[in-house]
Structure 1
Amino acid sequence: MAELVFVGCYTGEAGNGTGITTFARSSSGLTEVASLPLESPSWLVRHPSLPVLYAANETATGFVTALSLSPAGALSVLGTASTGGAHPCHLAVTPDGRFLLCANYTGGSLAVFSLSTSGALVSRTALVRHTGSGPSADRQEAAHVHMAVPSADSTVVSAVDLGTDEIRSYTLSSDGSLSPLAVSSLPPGTGPRQLVRRPGTDLAYVVGELAGTLVTVRETSPGAFSVVAVTPSTLSSVTPNLVAHLELAGSRMYVSNRGPDCVTEFALDDAAAVSDQPSGANPRHFALVDGTCYVAAQSDDAITAFTLTASGDAELRRYPTGSPTFVLPVSLP
């Protein structure tokens, strides 16, 4: 079995990466094996059942790229499509594999694309623009959709809006259209960036990028959320802290914090911070694989890696790559 790690990045004026870099992963670490030139592929996602990846090309024009993944792990472009909004920053494929969801950050909009049975982009079936603002004048002057989360049955899409401190949910129809379902407000100035549901419960967690918080919410009905608790996203007192990414793993939760430059471990049952692990500068995204955390340390021009430990004092290993923003581990038979 081939163990690969695909890394997205910022390119051109946004950073000094080159596109999607492929690393081979082994017990001795990461080894770069290939690179595909692509414009600022800042977020990557894999189709749930097909050998296809999708990249959000985070540019002022805004587009998404579909990529074929060969049995050997080589990437090739299948096609591209306009997202209908500037700076797309997040992608998700619905669990049924029929639609690709895209959050346009600067565009303040949510786009939906239909996918063929082979995973190719067919057409944009919906584009919903948000309006509104928040109390942070420099970051919440307008709507900024940062994430689109599909429900397990692929019928509801919840859009996290950093600019308006809201989660706006929609019903996703079989033809790919969106209908308003619910609007859930978060504490003013939260600047919500991500929403992750806890499997088997009605709870979910939101990272507040601007407030430096972790917000626990309860899904009271499909797509509607109420705040349960708010806690600091790190043990560190360093400010500002621009919280970035969240992952659930068993009874633990991990959050990356930019400013303190660490990944914070939480005990999931009580959402209590346990330890901070230094992660490198500007830890934008990370992935957990076989007891190791791989971090896109954007400002260090490196993927950093450390073994998950209870004490949070593991050795930090570095693998150079330009302006990394996303880490996608893939196992191939």
Structure 2
Amino acid sequence: MTSSKQQTLIWTGTYTADGGGRAEGVGALAAHQDGTLEWKGTAVKTDSPSFIAVHPTLPVVYAVAEQRQMVQAFRRSGEFGLEPAGDPQPAGESTCHVAVDPLGRFLIAACWGDGQVLLYELDHDGGMTGRFPAAPSLDPHGSLTPGQPRQSRAHASLILADGRVMTTDLGHDSLRIWRYEPGAGLIADHEVALPFGSGPRHLVQHRSGSVFVVSEYSIEVFVVKADAGTFELINRGPATAGGSRAEDSAAEICLDQDGNHAYVGVRGSNVIGVLRVGADGTDLSPVKDVASGGNWPRHHLVRGRWLHVAHERSDNIATFALDPATGLPGPLIHNLQTPSPTALVPSN
């Protein structure tokens, strides 16, 4: 194999038939140095593994079973295969996201359907042991909907640089910050209320310590930063340069390798909003909206100088080269057909 075809592996989360999708389970892609992706096959057949996380040091992959309300661990097998490792663990309704502690101590699952946030402690082999439900969310905007309580909808979690955990609640428009206590799970630290109806979905931490949160409903990016350990909302702005349409919903946010640009996927308009990050990480300025290369950009990944965008409804992953100076995606360089991709997660 030539150096231009040296490859790494990317796992794809998917929807299978029980989630209205066309995949059969977790997919495996070879990612080549020239930016192209190669479909290797289904790594393991499993129901609607719509989001995936990878253990930091062990050959173990964790996937939700969104419709089955479970989380399952898988162990690497062969070149690109996976096999179940232990029994699936119960989660909550519409389990939509998993994240693994960088130290390999625990796994966190977020459940969109009922708002549960669950922590599973991990043993030395990466197996899930103790299961600890976190305290349920209380709507900080409850006074705006008297007599009509809104459903809590946990959507994602992020292990912060200081070891704490931040989770989004799309239904309650809030961010919750937690401390991990071995043998007890997540202990509430504090919360940040975001504007009513915004719908915080996914989040990423910048090298400055700021956390950028994309909102599914209002199509914005919120900047929160800690002051003496307590996060506060310090900025907000549109996630796109050209505005959004009524039927749009934002999905993923990620950063380029230098942290100078952020990329937001917007479903409906099917664009990637490119934003410039301020030098101190306290503000983001929309630069340009670029066609995402398919229908319903559910998730995207920056890999070096490449941007890969997974389109759930058009069954493809579009790849663009990123301009190192402007951060803008150039013309489409590769288009890979693959069934119902919902997440792109590099293997170790």
In structure 2, the gaps of 5 or more residues are 1-5
CA contact (8 A) 2:71 2:91 kept: no
Q: Secondary structure at the match of 1:284?
A: strand
Q: How many residues align?
A: 325
Secondary structure of the 1:41 match is coil
2:85 to 68, 78, 85: 78
**Which residue in 2 is equivalent to 1:320?**
337
Question: Which residues of 2 match residues 161-172 of structure 1 at below 5 A?
Answer: 161-172=169-180
**Corresponding letter in the other structure for 1:268:** V
The structural deviation recorded for 1:24 is 1.6
**In structure 1, C-alpha distance between the alignment counterparts of 2:185 and 2:83, rounded to whole Å:** 29
The runs of 4+ residues in structure 1 deviating greater than 6 Å are 133-136
Question: Which residue number corresponds to residue 3 of structure 2?
Answer: none
Per-residue deviation at 1:225? 2.2
Q: Helix, strand or coil for the counterpart of 2:331? A: coil
Contact 2:219 2:244 in 1 (8 A): no
Alignment correspondent of 2:52? 44
- Distance in 1, Cα, partners of 2:153 & 2:90: 14
Counterpart of 2:133 in structure 1 is 126
Aligned match of 2:17: 12
What is the identity, as a one-letter code, of the residue corresponding to 2:65?
A: N
Aligned equivalent of 1:218 = 225
Q: What corresponds to 2:268 in structure 1? A: 259
Alignment partner, residue 239 of structure 1: 245
* AA in 2 matched with 1:23: L
The answer for unaligned runs of 5 or more in structure 1 is none
Distance 1:71 1:37, change over 3 A: closer
Task: Report what 2:165 is aligned to.
Answer: 157
Shift of 1:37: 1.0
CA deviations over 1:209-247 (Å, ceiling 9, x no partner): 11010111122243x322112111112334132111111
Report the 3-state secondary structure (helix = DSSP H, G, I; strand = E; otherwise coil) of the residue aligned with 2:295.
coil
Q: How does 1:80-99 map to 2 (within 5 A)?
A: 80-99=87-106
Counterpart of 2:193 (choices 168, 181, 185) is 185
- The residue type equivalent to 1:90 in the other structure is H
Please say if 1:298 is aligned against 2:312: yes
CA change 1:290–1:178 in 2 (3 A) is closer
Distance in 1 separating the partners of 2:130 and 2:339 = 32
Cα distance change of structure 1 residues 2 and 312 upon mapping to structure 2, 3 Å threshold: closer
Are 1:145 and 1:159, in contact at CA under 8 Å, matched by a contact in 2? yes
Paired residues of 1:88 and 1:105 also in contact (CA < 8 A): yes
Equivalent in the alignment of 1:278: 291
1:109 and 2:126 correspond: no
The CA RMSD over aligned residues, in Å, is 2.2
Out of 3, 8, 11, the position equivalent to 1:3 is 8
Tell me how far 1:71 sits from its aligned partner.
6.1
Superposition deviation, residue 20 in structure 1: 0.9
Distance 1:290 1:197 in 2: 18
SS of the residue corresponding to residue 126 of structure 2 reads coil
CA distance in 2, matches of 1:317, 1:93: 30
